[in-house]
Every structure is written in structure tokens, then in C-alpha cells.
Chain A
Amino acid sequence: MNPLLSIKNLSKVYPSGVRALNNVSLDVAHGEFLVIIGLSGSGKTTLLRCLNRLTDPGGGEIYFDGARADQLTGPALNDLRRRVAMIFQTFNLVPRRSVIANVLAGRLGHVSVWKSLLGLFSETDRALAQHYLELVGIGEKANSRADQLSGGQQQRVAIARALCQQPKLLLADEPVASLDPATAHVVMDYLRKANRELGITVICNLHFLSLVREYATRVVALRAGEIVFQGHPSEINEDWFKQIYGEAAREVHVR
């Protein structure tokens, strides 16, 4: 079976001269829960943002679902983003709007522009938004203001918004980095639920190896914009750890 996502020699140099990605090649199969690890500044976020083109790659090729994705513009690009959902470290909900309005935003790529501007979402769309909100366990918060929720709840709203897009691929950019350890597990459990029960392929950037070992089906490690390790999470031993994080690094455990 063809991979869902295929990255070939992807590179990115920012205008400041920073080389964030250097010849990254990677295949992601249907149904994987792929975790990307690496130090801050190793290129994890850039890689993820290149995949839904919030950042434009500098060179290389991206194939998603059998079609070239790195050259798309206009409506075709919006269509790609509809199929590749994303959640962020800072949640990126729209403040001052209700939770359900934030989740409904996940339908923007599906509905006509004029109807969406007038707020004319169909009953099906509204039911879908409520359904995904209940799936992440906060159906009763539908009419609260998004910025009045706790961090963990906001990230669950963000997951509901992403699921509402009914994507094939879900990108999660350090989804638990600003949450406490207990809440982090709750959020990660919902991502695993989306992966296992809804069959959505997940690519997730993470900091803590204990989370990686628990959730990942495969691990890729980046260092200075290059892939230095690919394999099963159980294969990361002391030597690999030092190679990824540097000689002086020590592992932090999150329970």
C-alpha cells in the first residue's frame, strides 16, 4: 500500500539564514502514530508547518494522499489544509468566541464562503461539531467562552476543531508542552483515540520520552534539521538518547 505521506529531500532556510530542515526524507503510512522528537530548534515545528504549508518549504517534495502537495496554491492549498488538520502548543483558539463556534470553524473548508460569513452552518455541521465536542468529553462547555477554559480543556476544543475537519492526517505541534503532566496524559489519550477509533494518522511533536514510549507506534528524531534516528520507541537507548539530545542531557520522567 502507498504511504499516506511521503517527504523527499525537504529543506527549509529561513530569511535569517537559519537552516531549519536539511534534506529530510520520510514516509508515513496510513494509521501510524508517528512521534517526532528533538531539541528545541531542531526543526520539528518547521517540519510540521511545512506539511500543511503554514510555512513554505524551500526545497524538496511532499506527496500527500498520492498527489504533490508542496506546490499547491489558492483553493487547492485550502483543500489540502482541510484534509491535514493541526493542533498547536498554544491551542490557537479564537478568544472571546464560544467553544462551539471554535469547533464549527473546523467546517470552514467544507462550506461555501458566503454561508460561513453569514453564520449559516447546516444542522448537520452543527450536530457534527457537538458530536466531536462530546467525543473529547467537554460537550457541556459548548456555550462557554473559549478563553475562559483551562489549558487542557482548550487543547481538547482544538482537537474537536481538528476532528471536525474530518481530516486524514492530524499534525500535533507539541500539544502538551504547556500543560501539567496529568492533563498531558488526558490530551494524549484523546489523540490516541482519534488515531485508533477514527483511523486518523497522527504526526506529533513531543518533548518527553516517557510520553513517546507510551503513545508512539514509530519515532523519528531530528537534530539540527536532519533525521538522526528512525525506529520503534523501545529502541531508544542511552546511546541514542545522547546522540539526539547531546552528551550532557539527562532524561526527565513524566508520569
Chain B
Amino acid sequence: MSAKRIIFDSVLFLYTLVLLAYGSTQLAIAFAPAPAFGLSDLVIDQEFFVRRFPEVVTGVGVLWALAALLAAFAYKLNLLTTGEILFPNRQRRPPAEANPHFLRSFWGLHLLFLFLATLAMSLQVTEASFYELFDREGLSGAWRLWLGLTHPNFSLLAKAITEAIETILIAFLATVIAIPVAFFLAFFCAKNIMNNRVAFPFYVLLRVFMNVSRSVEPLIWALIFTVWVGVGPFAGMLALTIHSIASLAKYYSEILEGVADGPIDGIRSTGANAVQVVWFAIVPQIILPYIGMTIYRWDTNVRMATVIGLVGGGGIGTLLIQYQGQAMWPEVGCIILVIAVIVWLMDLASAYVREALK
């Protein structure tokens, strides 16, 4: 399908053009001071993007049109573009000549250029600097903090462990509440089950809803719930529950989509009804992977609950942010030690259980 190829190529070409525009003006200020350049207003940098946002949007639109023209031109020239590699057209190019070494082909050089240019831009935008990394004053500050962390104040140990248990329970409750909801929803998110015409719109709708609620980080959910139910472990638990439902439903539905059809045919052929088919043919196939996935989720939730604590979701994260705010590094050291041990133990336990379930 050449339309797919041209759309894909046009996006890549658009990115190439934007990189070229950005890179050329950045090189210009690097080698000739901007005022001397005389067009300081036209130097493309992050500020320019903010200051001239509407023009930038229009500009990108124009560039995209140009990129589409370039893509069509590349198609006419019969260049082996990345788009053609992804959406090959067997009629246009016999498979025999479709695979030159990637450094001798257009797509290989193109992607290599994009990779190196993006690498250069990332180094510049993140302000990566060896000077900052080895600055004497910065280093001595970090060393003081490190000394505090490595000499933990163990008088806080009892408190830290108590809060860590709260974190584990927050994660546990969030997982337990999410399991039945996700179990139920998973059947409606599985393509092989929702394959008839009536069910398919529900499938699409639910998938979109799930993807949206999953792409909102639990940290954001925690911010919402701290306003809703007040700062504390309850808010953290609710945030994790929402995220766990979406994640587990996705994991579960993927396991469901991998279920073998044979046993389903076998059980259907005995005269079992739909509920019996689910219980006797599908559930035995999914139960162990489900348990493994759920334990992994609990493990993840413990780690997330720690982070959520930082924004007021309760547990050991909240304790950490309190001491960090007062720069009490030996106390923070103790808390971090407890977190590390808890996360390590949970990780070990869940890996062990999942291995045993295989």
C-alpha cells in the first residue's frame, strides 16, 4: 500500500526538515554570535518555539506539506525509504533487490542521520555538561549528602518500618480491589471474545477508556484524589486502584487473547453453555498466568505507592518527603534503606513465586 508508505515517510521527512532548521540556526549561533548574525529573532531555539507558537504550528504544517511532496518524490525516484521497508510493495520491487546492506541504502543512512542529529539535540537540550558534573562546590555538597545517607539515623527505624508496612498494605488493598473488576473487564477487552458485530463497539470503547486511564500516571491520579478525599493513605490507595484496574485488565485481556481455541471447541462440543465454557475451557488456561501477573502488579504497586507517598499518598513516601524537605539526610538515609530492602524483598518474592508457577 503506497499511501501508508508516503504518510509514514512524510512524517519522517517532516522531522528531518525540523531538525535541519533547528540544527542550522544552532550552528549559526555557535560559530557566529547571534547579534552579529543580525537575525537574532529568527534563531530557532526553545524560546522561539514558546514565543512564536502559532507561527511554529503553521510552519510545521507547511513543512509537512513539503515533506509529503518530498515523500512522493522519493517514491517516484524509487528510493528505498523507511516507509517502503515497513510497508513493502512486492509488485514494485522484487524481494531479491529489496535488501541491500543498510549503510548502502537510503533508509539506513536516513535513520542513521536522524539518530545522530537527535542525539546531538538531546545533549544540547538537556544541558549535559562535564563541567557541572565535576564542579568542586557541587561535588562537596553531594559528598556531604552522601555522608548523611550512608550514616543512617537508626532511631527512625521503627517509624520507617511502620510506614513501610502501611505502603505495602496500600498496595495490597489497591491490587485486591482491582482484581475482580479487571477480571470482569478483561473479557470485554479481549479481541477473540468480542469478535461479533454487536460486541465490537463496546470493545473499542472500553479499550480507549482503558488506554486513557492507564496513560494517566498514578502520580496524577494521586493529585486528584488528595483533593477529593484529602491527603493520606486512602488517596494513594484509590490512585493505585484506578491504575491497577486498567493495567491488570490489559494484562489479563492479552492472556485471554493467547488462549488456545482447541479446548474451547472441546468443551463446547460436550453441550456446555457459555458460562461453563468460560469456567472449564478458558479459566484453567489463564489462571496461572493471571496469578503471576497479579503478584507482579502488587510488587509494582509497592514501588509506585512509595512514589505516590511523595505527593501526599501516605506511607513511607510521605515520611521521606518530610525529612527530605528539612534536609535531614541521616534520617532520609534510614528511610531509603528501608525502602530498598522492602522493594528488594518484594521483587525477590514475586520473582520466586512467578518462577514456581510456570
Asked whether any CB of chain A lies closer than 8 Å to the CB of B201, the reply is no
Q: Is the CB of B285 within 8 A of A78?
A: no
Question: Contact at B265–A94, with CB atoms within 8 Å?
Answer: no
- The CB with the most chain A CB atoms within 10 A, among B260, B270, B276, B279, is that of B270
Question: Is A109 a contact partner of B272 (Cβ separation < 8 A)?
Answer: yes
Least Cβ–Cβ distance between B287 and chain A, in angstroms: 8
Chain A proximity mask over B21-46: 1 for CB below 8 Å, otherwise 0:
00000000000000000000000000
Q: Are B279 and A86 in contact (CB under 8 A)?
A: no
Within 8 Å of chain A (Cβ to Cβ): is B267?
yes
Q: How far is the CA of A165 from the CA of B265 in the complex (A)?
A: 15
Q: Is B271 a contact partner of A165 (Cβ separation < 8 A)?
A: yes
**Is B258 an interface residue when CB atoms closer than 8 A count as contact?**
no
Please report which residues of chain B, range 270-285, place their CB below 8 angstroms from some CB of chain A when the two chains form the complex.
270-273, 275-276, 279-281, 284-285
Closest beta carbon of chain A to B288's beta carbon, Å: 7
Which chain A residues numbered 43 to 64 have a C-beta less than 8 Å away from chain B?
A: 52, 54
Is B266 a contact partner of A92 (Cβ separation < 8 A)? yes
Known A96-B288, A108-B280; judge A86-B273 contact (CB<8 A).
no
How far apart are the CA atoms of A44 and B308 in the complex, in Å? Answer: 60
A17 sits at the interface (CB 8 A): no
**Residue A91 interfacial (CB < 8 Å):** yes
Q: How far is the CA of A80 from the CA of B273 in the complex (A)?
A: 12
Question: Which residues from chain A contact B266 at a C-beta distance below 8 Å?
Answer: 88, 91-94, 105, 158, 161
Number of A-B contacts (CB under 8 A): 81
The closest CB in chain A to the CB of B273 belongs to A78
B129 within 8 A of A: no
Q: Is A180 an interface residue (CB 8 A)?
A: no
Q: Is B269 an interface residue (CB 8 A)?
A: yes
A80 nearest in chain B by CB position: B271
Contact A81/B265 with A96-B288, A105-B280, A117-B276 known, Cβ cut-off 8 Å: no
Our pick among B260, B269, B279, B281 for the contact of A54 (Cβ within 8 Å) is B269
B276 touches A116 (CB 8 A): yes
- Bound-state CA distance A162–B272 (Å) is 13
Q: Which residues of B contact A158 (CB under 8 A)?
A: 266
Closest to A92 in B: B266
Interface pair A81/B269, CB less than 8 Å apart: yes
Tell me the bound Cα distance from A88 to B269 in angstroms: 10
Inter-chain contacts of A66 with B (CB < 8 A):
none
Most buried by B among A75, A85, A94, A107: A94
Q: Which residue of A lies closest to B269 (CB)?
A: A86
CB contacts (< 8 Å) of A78 on chain B: these are: 271-273
In the A-B complex, list the 3 residue pairs whose CB atoms are closest, starting with the nearest.
Answer: A109-B271, A82-B271, A92-B266
23 A-B pairs within 8 Å (CB atoms) are namely A54-B268, A54-B269, A75-B273, A79-B271, A80-B271, A81-B269, A81-B270, A81-B271, A82-B271, A83-B271, A85-B269, A88-B266, A94-B263, A94-B266, A94-B267, A94-B284, A94-B285, A96-B285, A105-B270, A105-B272, A109-B270, A113-B276, A162-B270
